[in-house]
Amino acid sequence: MEIQNNLSNELKRDLLEKIQEDALPMRTLMSYYRCAIMEVETKFRVLNEEFSIEREHNPIETIKSRLKSPESIIKKMQSRNLPLTVSAIEENLFDIAGIRVICSFQNDIYLMAKYLLSQDDIQLLEVKDYIKQPKENGYRSLHLIVRVPIFLHKEKRGVNVEVQLRTIAMDSWASLEHKIRYKKELDPETLDKISASLLECAHLSAELDEKMQNIHEQIAIK
């Protein structure tokens, strides 16, 4: 515990020193990521509005966003032995700005991803489909790393944003799994049992998504 506290204090000192040294560049960088989040979020809201009018269906239930804290950024850079510079952060971390899009049905996930990526100002950098190929623990989601332009008063600048698309069931499972798995007081044997139960729940969640999709398609045909 003492070692962990010392490391934490050391990290905080590094953070404070870095903030003092590069306060303006870091604040400027974080503002770029906030602007990029707004750009991508607006694109999804426009798509959702369009679908609600043309197809009488809102594919998006909710949109959540998050921005990594400077402390998390520095910790991640240090874990990779990378220099704590603004340029190194931009070049090596792709998940500083994050958007999570919660869709009604699984098909909506791929539909929203398709229409987002078809926009001529969006550049796809990476895709990881954890729906078709779930993680070993049962996690499912579609992850996209995209580059979106933000328009500043003197320039146009490309900024990376991580987009996660999930159904309601996928998001509920992931949220609860995170809360349960990171309970520090659980012993290894209990964690193994819980992991097995969580994997079973993930399979049930996937089955629920499939059944709800089928029902939705039957209604849409009629």
d(CA 176, CA 13): 33
Distance of CA 194 to the CA centre of its chain: 25
Residue 133 DSSP SS3 = coil
Going by C-beta distance under 8 Å and a sequence separation of 6 or more, which residues neighbour residue 29?
Answer: 86, 89, 90
φ, ψ for residue 218, nearest 5 deg: -65, -40
Summarize the confidence of residues 3-9 as an average pLDDT. 57
For residue range 99-144, list pLDDT tens digits in order.
999 999 999 999 999 999 999 999 999 999 999 999 999 999 999 9
For residue range 62-88, list pLDDT tens digits in order.
999 999 988 888 889 999 999 888 889
**pTM attached to this predicted model:** 0.84
Triad 209, 143, 72: Cα angle to 5°:
120
Check: CB of residue 36 under 8 Å from CB of residue 145.
Answer: no
Find residue 123's DSSP bridge partners.
Answer: 147
DSSP 46-98: HHHHHHHHHTS---EEEEEEEE--HHHHHHHHHHTT----HHHHHHH---SEE
For residue range 29-51, list pLDDT tens digits in order.
999 999 999 999 999 999 999 99
pLDDT exceeds cutoff 80 at 198: yes
Q: Which one-letter DSSP state was computed for residue 104?
A: S
